[in-house]
Amino acid sequence: MNLVGRLFVAGQKEAVLCSWCLQGSHLILSAVEPGAGTWTLEVAQSDLTLGGFNEAQVVLKQGDLIFYGTRAEMENPLRLLGLERIHRALGKESTRVRSSVRRSYVWLSIFVAFLGLLGLAGWWVTERVVHVATGMTPVSWDVELGKAAWKTQQMGESEIKDPAIVKPVQEIVSLLSKPYQSQGYQFEVHVLDSPQVNAFAMPGGQMAVFTGLLKEAEGPDEVAGVLAHEIQHVVQRHGIRNIYSQLRWQMALAVLVGDGSSLHAQLLGSGAFLAGLSYGREMESEADREGLALLEKAGMPKGGMVKFFKKLDKQQGAVETYLKYLSTHPSSKDRISALEQQMTKAPGGGSVPVDWASLQTALGKGSKDAGRGRK
């Protein structure tokens, strides 16, 4: 077997690949390239250390010469020389390197854990900032933002002006929003002529309901259920919270340097962001939960919300027009069963006092006669 290693000669930039053999305590090194030289190291007088990752190399140093050999190949022949110093060096070095490797792993783990904690702490701090900032933001900003966003949101659907259609929806919203009206929200209902089974709410109280949803609903309690959910998106200020979450790092900075004035501008620049309005699972669940409680407070039946969600869930995927509603409102079995659980605790009752029959008649006339007006 040809045993080789690398020899560094002082003053030379590159290592010389050498084969080695031991003759007594002399390590004879011959360059692998023929005629490139031979060297001799007196092992008894060399410094021996272990090098490389996991002490895989033996490093012998004497004068101008440093030789790197593979430890697996060199250790036994060197130990067989019976040189106590080398023996000790191999043993002692081994422990030192091993423990220093172990030490560096420990430090690396501590460092990684520290980075993780730092990220977590940053997240927690900014999460608190989002919460505090939302609390400090006046509701009038929601209203302003919602009105600006509403303008960008209109995608050409005609707005229905027929009072037989609009009034009942408005009535449901004003009954449901009663507890929040003193808080500065301005609830405004827009009924849009579109086959989509859809409804959404903008910050501050801009509400849009599509005729497709009104036709799909089998009663005013189902519409009330959807509207109660949407009103909760408004009063829980999910839009603002979403934007603040997106801006969390800028906000943390603004709070740190004590400059809140840039925030208002940033917020109002977010109207376009709201066009892609979507809420996370947590916010949807909150809107479900609080929406159901709101129905109860308003003396309206709670079953409609669940009934409507179930209907959407069943039709999910089958009908393309439902997709938009479903993509902004991931209606899942989990949400439905959570609502049902909440309802068994307090089933509730009541009614939705609106003229549903006239609304359906007006809708039934078809969108052509339904007094449309482009906004």
Q: Considering the complex, what minimum distance in angstroms separates the CB of residue 179 from Zn ion?
A: 19
* Part of the chain binding Zn ion (CB under 5 A), chosen from 41-49, 60-68, 281-289, 335-343: 281-289
Q: List the x/- string, 106-145, binding to Zn ion by CB under 5 A.
A: ----------------------------------------
Q: Considering the complex, what minimum distance in angstroms separates the CB of residue 142 from Zn ion?
A: 16
* Part of the chain binding Zn ion (CB under 5 A), chosen from 49-57, 82-90, 167-175, 283-291: 283-291
Helix residue ranges per DSSP H, the chain: 71-80, 84-136, 139-153, 163-176, 211-216, 220-235, 238-246, 248-256, 261-268, 271-275, 281-297, 303-315, 323-328, 333-345, 356-364
Q: How many CA atoms lie within 13 A of 213 on its CB side?
A: 26
Q: Considering the complex, what minimum distance in angstroms separates the CB of residue 170 from Zn ion?
A: 20
Q: Which is nearer to Zn ion, 280 or 353 (CB)?
A: 280
* Residue given tokens 């949400």 in the structure block: 335
Q: Which of 361, 353, 238 is nearest to 290 (CA)?
A: 238
Q: Which is nearer to Zn ion, 267 or 287 (CB)?
A: 287
Q: Considering the complex, what minimum distance in angstroms separates the CB of residue 252 from Zn ion?
A: 28
How many of the other CB atoms lie within 10 Å of CB of 294?
Answer: 25
Q: Considering the complex, what minimum distance in angstroms separates the CB of residue 291 from Zn ion?
A: 9
- Is residue 109 classed exposed, middle or buried when 0-12, 13-18 and 19+ CB atoms within 10 A define those classes? exposed
- Using CB positions, name the residue nearest to Zn ion: 329
Q: Which is nearer to Zn ion, 213 or 287 (CB)?
A: 287
- Backbone φ, ψ for residue 257 (5° rounding): -90, 0
- Is 329 a binding residue for Zn ion by CB under 5 A? The answer is yes
Q: Considering the complex, what minimum distance in angstroms separates the CB of residue 101 from Zn ion?
A: 54
- What does 100-115 look like in DSSP terms, one character per residue? HHHHHHHHHHHHHHHH
* Part of the chain binding Zn ion (CB under 5 A), chosen from 7-15, 99-107, 161-169, 278-286: 278-286
Q: Considering the complex, what minimum distance in angstroms separates the CB of residue 138 from Zn ion?
A: 24
Q: Which is nearer to Zn ion, 237 or 329 (CB)?
A: 329
Q: Which is nearer to Zn ion, 5 or 225 (CB)?
A: 225
Q: Which is nearer to Zn ion, 49 or 198 (CB)?
A: 198
* Part of the chain binding Zn ion (CB under 5 A), chosen from 117-125, 282-290, 335-343, 344-352: 282-290
* Residue given tokens 């040809």 in the structure block: 2
Largest CA distance in the chain: 112
- What does 4-60 look like in DSSP terms, one character per residue? EEEEEETT-SS-EEEEEEEETTEEEEEESSTTS-EEEEEGGGSEEEEESGGG-EEEE
Please report which helix (H) or strand (E) contains residue 186, including its range. Answer: none
What distance lies between CA 324 and its chain's CA centroid?
A: 22
Q: Which is nearer to Zn ion, 222 or 284 (CB)?
A: 284
Q: Which is nearer to Zn ion, 66 or 231 (CB)?
A: 231
Q: List the x/- string, 284-323, binding to Zn ion by CB under 5 A.
A: x--x------------------------------------
3-state secondary structure of 172: helix
Give whole-number Cα distances, 100 to 60, 89, 105, 106, 373, in Å. Answer: 20, 16, 9, 10, 79
Q: Considering the complex, what minimum distance in angstroms separates the CB of residue 328 from Zn ion?
A: 7
Q: Considering the complex, what minimum distance in angstroms separates the CB of residue 216 from Zn ion?
A: 17
Work out the angle between the directed axes of helices 220-235 and 238-246 (0-180°, nearest 10): 40
Q: Which is nearer to Zn ion, 89 or 274 (CB)?
A: 274
Cα–Cα distance measured from residue 330 to residue 328, given in angstroms and rounded to the nearest whole number: 6
Give whole-number Cα distances, 15 to 11, 36, 50, 317, in Å. Answer: 11, 12, 18, 68
Size of the site for Zn ion (CB under 5 A): 3
- Is 248 a binding residue for Zn ion by CB under 5 A? The answer is no
* Part of the chain binding Zn ion (CB under 5 A), chosen from 76-84, 153-161, 280-288, 290-298: 280-288
Q: Which residues bind Zn ion (CB under 5 A)?
A: 284, 287, 329
